[in-house]
Structure 1
């Protein structure tokens, strides 16, 4: 009996030593969950099972493989490791997505830093936790539904992600039959938030009496126009118009230009407030010179600068307010030779009588204009910002104002009459 026991003791280490071996490119089949893989194994085999640190290569097709390097336990991928082009399913939000993964794994599940390329083309690089996109990362061409202007746009997002949700800086592009959106900028919790650049055909502006939906291209804050931009829409008459300029709070605010695709409507260049034209005195003067069937004239830069810098001189309450501002040496009759020479000075002249006078409201601003002859027989068109309650037709008046330029208009006999334009500072009976 002692001899048999001694023999058994000698055989045990021989058996144990025979169950463990190191192999290279060894054909080995392993099971990961319910999936069976056959590949080349390099590492330690114990009783035919992969154990410890090892490398496992599985053929995908004739040109590519997926590779795992890490720990095995009892023939299964277990513990920490890394993979390259590993076919798997990851979760982003509530959706499961099939594709290939390269990066850190734990128990064959993406865990830590890695890159996932989905079967439908999008890719994500960042952090994972147990097969789920979690933490910070960047995604490319991810199919995403964006709610904007009470519509849902289906498009693709490229940019920063936090826990599988667009957050940070990114771009969304949707090009469908009804909705086009191209936004680049900041995001918070899956929505456009903060500063960015937007191009879309579903932008809506609420004006004072109507809402218009059209195309917008420019800067935005929280998805609403802010900064410089361009808006194009069609009015109730079917005329297309474009505003290009300053925006704030989602609408026209600041300086801009409104251009119409029709000669029947006058273009506007000037200041805007909450979508409405609110021209300065000089801007209104320039605008009226371009209105169809009104007086046709141009305003030079010197006049514009003078009016802007001396806004309080139009209209004043009395002559004393103009004291020291009038050039008494300028004679209106001489300005016909060089109409723009004194366009930044205030002159004065007396008239025979007012031939025609009218008060009108333009862009919520009251203007009064009248036509007179001066004492030398010159025809003069006087345009005044505001009301002239005590001045009427056939009155003789003394006019103070800035000489602007020559103009022309149609008289009651359909003849063309030339006159000199004066921008009024003060009118005295």
Structure 2
């Protein structure tokens, strides 16, 4: 009878413990973790369940390469949300394969939400830095990419699946870092462009009348362009000094037109987001545009002049 009772008790214990998992906390335990399809042997600190890492920190270092992860695991792969620091992450920028240093958030082991990426390759992007939003290991959302090469400037604004996909406001802002006539768009101008993007460029003058201040003087606007960033300006009958038309940038035809009166120390640098027909030097134009900033323009002879930078809305031939 005793033997039967003991046997029954053992059976009950087996039933009660069936399916129960064994959990333990470990520190610096050697384990192998998979990342981007490759195995890495490192040290793990955190929770172990049924012999497998459940959630904690994993560190790998070999030579100059390193990987530090904090978050969840499943089948020895990063699972769920976490943070990652590594210097051998792979991504794509446009159609280019890139590797570099990533420091930021991840989801299932892929860059996600927000992070910083410093390029190691290719060579022409080396040491360039992207800070911003990510989705599935690609730049996606709001961010800024600052190029390391002198004179290259940066991309500021919206990224989509690894491509720079700027809004009109982003385009004007990015151009301020890329072209020789550098500038920084005022807060007033950014707000106006976002609200009235259809005005850049407009098809005719009539559609601009309610947004245009015709009373402002050039030198007043040049002195404090940010104060005039909520209205379009109209500058009439100025000769064209230097046109650069229909440059392919950001998937647009972008034109840069310098006009003004050197004898009166008036220089207006107009940036047009859209195709522009022939604009000969010394022909006369009336321009509508939004003051973005003041800047310095350097001529081919090396002479430097202060200029007013406009986001072009309409160019009228007065010749």
Query: How high is the TM-score relative to the length of structure 2?
Result: 0.84
Deviation of residue 204 (structure 1)? 0.5
Match of 2:3 in 1: none
Match of 1:54 in 2: none
Note the 1:112-191 alignment, pairs <5 A: 135-141=21-27, 142-167=29-54, 169-177=55-63, 179-191=65-77
Match of 2:171 in 1: 284
Q: Would the alpha carbon gap of residues 179 and 335 (structure 1) be closer, same or farther in structure 2, given more than 3 Å must change?
A: closer
Where 2:198 maps in the other structure, the secondary structure is: helix
Question: Which blocks of at least 5 consecutive residues in structure 2 are unaligned?
Answer: 1-5
For these two proteins, the number of residue pairs brought into alignment is 306
Match of 1:267 in 2: 154
Higher relative contact order (CA closer than 8 Å, sequence separation 6+):
2
**Distance in 1, Cα, partners of 2:151 & 2:291:** 29
Match of 2:181 in 1: 295
Where 1:295 maps in the other structure, the secondary structure is: coil
Match of 1:424 among 300, 312, 315: 312
Between 393-402 and 311-320, report the one with greater CA deviation: 393-402
> Are 2:248 and 2:254, in contact at CA under 8 Å, matched by a contact in 1?
yes
**Distance in 2, Cα, partners of 1:128 & 1:206:** 49
Match of 2:90 in 1: 204
> Are 1:149 and 1:202, in contact at CA under 8 Å, matched by a contact in 2?
no
- The structure with more helix, counted as a fraction of residues: 2
Deviation of residue 375 (structure 1)? 11
**Distance in 2, Cα, partners of 1:369 & 1:176:** 51
Q: Deviations over 1:103-155 (max 9, x none)?
A: xxx9xxxx99xxxxxxxxxxxxxx998xxx97141331332111212322101
**Distance in 1, Cα, partners of 2:147 & 2:292:** 26
Match of 1:404 in 2: 292
Deviation of residue 176 (structure 1)? 2.5
Q: Deviations over 1:306-363 (max 9, x none)?
A: 2122212211112232231112222324434444331221111212332221121223
Between 297-306 and 243-252, report the one with greater CA deviation: 297-306
> Are 2:56 and 2:71, in contact at CA under 8 Å, matched by a contact in 1?
yes
**Distance in 1, Cα, partners of 2:274 & 2:305:** 25
Deviation of residue 422 (structure 1)? 1.5
Q: Would the alpha carbon gap of residues 392 and 245 (structure 1) be closer, same or farther in structure 2, given more than 3 Å must change?
A: same
> Are 1:134 and 1:163, in contact at CA under 8 Å, matched by a contact in 2?
no
Deviation of residue 367 (structure 1)? 1.2
Q: Would the alpha carbon gap of residues 352 and 329 (structure 1) be closer, same or farther in structure 2, given more than 3 Å must change?
A: closer
Q: Deviations over 1:78-110 (max 9, x none)?
A: 99xxxxxxxxxxxxxxxxxxxxxxxxxx9xxxx
Match of 1:351 in 2: 237
Rg: which structure is higher? 1
**Distance in 1, Cα, partners of 2:92 & 2:221:** 47
**Distance in 1, Cα, partners of 2:75 & 2:36:** 17
| Alignment pair present for 1:361 and 2:267 | no
Match of 1:304 among 187, 190, 193: 190
- The structure with more strand, counted as a fraction of residues: 1
Match of 1:248 in 2: 135
Where 1:389 maps in the other structure, the secondary structure is: coil
**Distance in 1, Cα, partners of 2:262 & 2:205:** 20
RMSD across aligned C-alpha pairs, in angstroms?
3.1
Between 277-286 and 221-230, report the one with greater CA deviation: 277-286
Match of 1:319 in 2: 205
Query: How high is the TM-score relative to the length of structure 1?
Result: 0.64
Where 1:204 maps in the other structure, the secondary structure is: strand
Where 1:286 maps in the other structure, the secondary structure is: helix
**Distance in 1, Cα, partners of 2:166 & 2:131:** 16
| Alignment pair present for 1:386 and 2:274 | yes
Note the 1:96-115 alignment, pairs <5 A: none
Deviation of residue 238 (structure 1)? 7.1
Deviation of residue 389 (structure 1)? 2.8
Q: Would the alpha carbon gap of residues 313 and 207 (structure 1) be closer, same or farther in structure 2, given more than 3 Å must change?
A: same
